[in-house]
Structure 1
Amino acid sequence: MELEGRNNVADGERPTIMVTNDDGIHGPGLQALVRTLVSTNRYRVWVCAPDSENSAASHSASVRGTVSAKAIEIRGARAYAISGTPSDCTSLGISKTLFPSVPDLVLSGINMGSNCGYHIVYSGTVSGAREAFLHGVPSVSISYDWVEGASNINDFTLAAEACLPMISAIILEIKNKTYPKNCFLNMDLPTDIRNHKGFKLTKQGSSIMKIDWKQISSDSQTMTMETNSLSNAKAVSQETLLFKMQLKGGQVENGGTDFGSLQEGYISVTPLGALSNADIDSRKFFNEWLLGVAQCPSSVM
Structure 2
Amino acid sequence: MLRILITNDDGIEALGIRKLAEALLGLPEVEIYVVAPASEKSGVGHGVTFRSALAPSPHPFYDLPVKAWAVEGNPADCVKGAYHLLFDEETKPDIVFSGINVGTNLGRDIYYSGTCSGAREAVILGIPGVALSYDNWFDQENYGDVVEIIRPLLQMFCDQARGEKLVPEVFWNINIPHLPKEKIRGVVPAALAMNHYEDKYNLEAGGYWLTREYPDRSNPAPEEDYYLVQRGYISVTPVHIDATDRVLLEKMLEWPLVKQWNGQSNSQTGGKPNGDRQNEE
- How high is the TM-score relative to the length of structure 2? 0.82
User: Residues 72 and 111 (structure 1 numbering): CA distance in 2 closer, same or farther, change over 3 Å?
Assistant: same
Q: CA deviation at 1:153?
A: 2.6
C-alpha contact 1:185 1:271 (8 A) present in aligned 2: yes
Instruction: For 2:209 and 2:202, locate their aligned partners in 1 and report how far apart those are by CA, in whole Å.
Output: 5
Q: CA deviation at 1:64?
A: 2.1
Instruction: For 1:17 and 1:162, locate their aligned partners in 2 and report how far apart those are by CA, in whole Å.
Output: 19
Q: Which amino acid aligns with 2:145?
A: L
Check if 1:291 corresponds to 2:279: no
The residue number in structure 2 matching 1:25 is: 12
**Which has the larger helix fraction?**
2
Check if 1:115 corresponds to 2:105: yes
Q: Which amino acid aligns with 1:250?
A: P
Out of 175, 182, 185, which is 1:197 matched to?
185
Instruction: For 1:271 and 1:211, locate their aligned partners in 2 and report how far apart those are by CA, in whole Å.
Output: 27
User: Residues 38 and 248 (structure 1 numbering): CA distance in 2 closer, same or farther, change over 3 Å?
Assistant: same
User: Residues 285 and 20 (structure 1 numbering): CA distance in 2 closer, same or farther, change over 3 Å?
Assistant: same
3-state DSSP class of the match of 1:62? coil
After the TM superposition, which parts of structure 1 deviate over 6 Å for at least 4 consecutive aligned residues? none
3-state DSSP class of the match of 1:170? helix
Check if 1:245 corresponds to 2:210: yes
Q: CA deviation at 1:176?
A: 2.2
C-alpha contact 1:119 1:208 (8 A) present in aligned 2: no
Whichever of the two has the greater Rg, that structure is 1
**Higher mean C-alpha displacement, 66-75 vs 16-25:** 66-75
Q: CA deviation at 1:182?
A: 2.9
Q: Which amino acid aligns with 2:94?
A: D
Structure 1 vs Structure 2: percent identity of aligned residues?
28
Instruction: For 2:216 and 2:228, locate their aligned partners in 1 and report how far apart those are by CA, in whole Å.
Output: 13
Q: Which amino acid aligns with 2:199?
A: I
Check if 1:79 corresponds to 2:68: yes
Q: CA deviation at 1:279?
A: 9.0
Matches within 5 A, 1:166-181: 166-181=153-168
3-state DSSP class of the match of 1:211? strand
Taking only aligned residues, the RMSD between alpha carbons, in angstroms, comes to 2.3
Instruction: For 1:158 and 1:42, locate their aligned partners in 2 and report how far apart those are by CA, in whole Å.
Output: 23
3-state DSSP class of the match of 2:86? coil
Q: Which amino acid aligns with 1:203?
A: A
Show structure 2 runs of 5+ residues with no match. Answer: 261-281
Q: CA deviation at 1:68?
A: 1.6
3-state DSSP class of the match of 1:63? coil
Aligned pair count reads: 253
Q: CA deviation at 1:196?
A: 1.3
* 1:42-74 superposed Cα distances (whole Å, 9 cap, x missing partner): 421100000001000000000222012111112
Q: CA deviation at 1:284?
A: 8.6
Instruction: For 1:245 and 1:289, locate their aligned partners in 2 and report how far apart those are by CA, in whole Å.
Output: 42
* 1:188-230 superposed Cα distances (whole Å, 9 cap, x missing partner): 001225321111001112113321111114xxxxxxxxxxxxx
The residue number in structure 2 matching 1:133 is: 123
Q: Which amino acid aligns with 1:30?
A: I
Show structure 1 runs of 5+ residues with no match. Answer: 1-13, 218-240, 296-301
**Higher mean C-alpha displacement, 23-32 vs 35-44:** 35-44
User: Residues 199 and 291 (structure 1 numbering): CA distance in 2 closer, same or farther, change over 3 Å?
Assistant: same
